Amino acid sequence: MRTIKSFKLLFVVILPLGLLPNPVPAMEILEPGYVIEDYFTIPKSSDSSFSRFTFDSDGNIFIPMFYNSGDYEGVIYRISNDKEISIFADGLTRPMDLTFSNGTDYGNYLYVTEGQQTAEWPDGGVSRITPEGVRIPFSGLGLNQPVPLGFDTIGNYGGYLYVASGAADKIHKLSLDGQVQTFYNFSIPDSGCCYDIVFDTTGNYGSQMYVPAVYPGYPDFCGVLVFDPSGNKSKFAPDIKWAYHAAFDTSDQQLFGGNLFVVGCKAWDTSTYNIYRVQPNGQADIFVADLSAKSVIRFGPDGFMYLRYVDLDTLDLVIQRIVPERPLPVVKLEEAIALKNQARDLINQALEKEAEALALLNNNGSHNNPDKWDILKARLEIRWAMKREQIVLRFIDMSIARLQHACELIAGWTPEPGDPDDTEESTESIFADINGDGIINAEDLVLLSKYWLQNTDSLE
């Protein structure tokens, strides 16, 4: 794997959050409880295009890029969780869509469609990429400018890899040895295409194949199309007139209700696009309004919805994500206060035990008493335990103060110089990413407080 420095005058730069070169489209989430976050952006060169994207099981993003002239030379970028970008695979011709084999019989590969003539096929084909980034030709004879592809992981459709050919207006299924069979023939001479192929693995939508498509002038072939295993077509979510991309919330977290989401238009107006939440009965409600471009949507292993689009002003590639709105850490604050009270109870127990030890010393004052030294030793241990409990209590007090400060900051309050937020301890000594989620927040403070309490000696 090669870390990117340059590739044909394309310089990839990751910009910090909030420093995108131009404002992103004025999209709006219409459902309460969700917010849009900037994830990263890639500046575009003068003659390149980005296509779809996908995730591996570790949350790394894979996205193809190709040049719009010459041999349509392309690469696949890998964007890691920590925003490191590298070229995962090169030597491709106009790479379009890509997906991992997801535990199917098709081996441990990343499959990618190449939508232009390659060395092996005159009209494009499908290649597979090894974990080391090596391209292996897979299938192409009979395909004509293939774009979307998807695996039948539910098994209702023979477990095949399915791919749609843009120029041939067909959906094909590819066998394990790359043989091409026609699954559905649109038989439409005019321009149009299928944009996505997704399978319902939630079981809430009939466990069927869903295909967003646009064939202008043919309403029966526009919108969200559903195909049964025999290749019979029907329409779904009729309010969505043109459909471009789709994704099921299949994550374990179910942060988006396990629904189907579709990018499209409710009327024959392509000036703006929306993301629709589609219910199992076909009811489509706008989830995100006023997209200025046909965004590709995918769900990551973290359960969040990711959007990929091209900024129409800068032509940069922009990826954002939609996440549940994070509540104020009030519950965590209450938990920290409970821990503080627990620490005080432990100190009171220590004081009681010290009093018992003093009483024993007074009642057994003789130097010849063999229990005297054990009692003195116990008294020292109790005092040491008390000292540590006082340290824990002070730490939790500081944690509570910082949690309260965090609540105020989230609410929009800006601290003034001299606020009682400063402590002698450095921030690094107080804060740590305890739960390993990549951020430092109130939960980490509570976990650290619990750690200190659980690792003090018992006073029983």
Domains of the chain: 2-323 (2.120.10.30), 330-454 (no CATH)
Percent of the chain having pLDDT more than 90?
Answer: 47
Determine the pLDDT at residue 343. Answer: 65
Reported confidence tier of residue 16, pLDDT bands at 50, 70, 90: very low
Determine the pLDDT at residue 407. Answer: 52
What's the whole-number mean pLDDT along residues 371-382? 60
Q: H/E element holding 349?
A: helix 330-363
Higher pLDDT, 270 or 153: 153
Higher pLDDT, 205 or 380: 205
**What is the distance between the alpha carbons of residues 213 and 234, in angstroms, rounded to a whole number?**
12
Determine the pLDDT at residue 377. Answer: 61
Three-state secondary-structure class, residue 393? helix
CB of 41 within 8 A of CB of 15?
yes
Q: How far is CA 8 from CA 17, 49, 90, 317, in A?
A: 27, 13, 12, 17
pLDDT tens column, 201-214: 999 999 999 999 99
Sheet containing 28-29: order of strands: 28-29, 284-291, 273-278, 260-265, 242-248
User: How would you classify residue 412: left for phi > 0, otherwise alpha for psi between -120 and 50, otherwise beta?
Assistant: left
What's the whole-number mean pLDDT along residues 104-118? 94
CB of 47 within 8 A of CB of 66?
no
Determine the pLDDT at residue 412. Answer: 45
Determine the pLDDT at residue 103. Answer: 85
> What is the DSSP track for 431-451?
----S-SSS--HHHHHHHHHH
Higher pLDDT, 190 or 147: 147
Determine the pLDDT at residue 331. Answer: 44
pLDDT tens column, 290-315: 887 789 999 999 999 999 988 877 88
Reported pTM: 0.69
Higher pLDDT, 452 or 364: 364
What's the whole-number mean pLDDT along residues 218-222? 92
Three-state secondary-structure class, residue 401? helix
Q: Which two tokens stand for residue 411?
A: 């609410």
pLDDT tens column, 332-356: 556 666 666 776 676 677 677 667 7
Determine the pLDDT at residue 13. Answer: 34
pLDDT tens column, 20-66: 334 444 789 999 999 999 998 988 766 788 889 999 999 999 999 99
Nearest to 287 by CA among 260, 254, 316: 260
Beta strands in 19-169 (DSSP E): 28-29, 34-42, 48-50, 54-55, 61-67, 73-79, 85-93, 95-100, 110-114, 125-129, 135-139, 146-151, 161-165
pLDDT above 90 for 420: no
CB of 335 within 8 A of CB of 90?
no
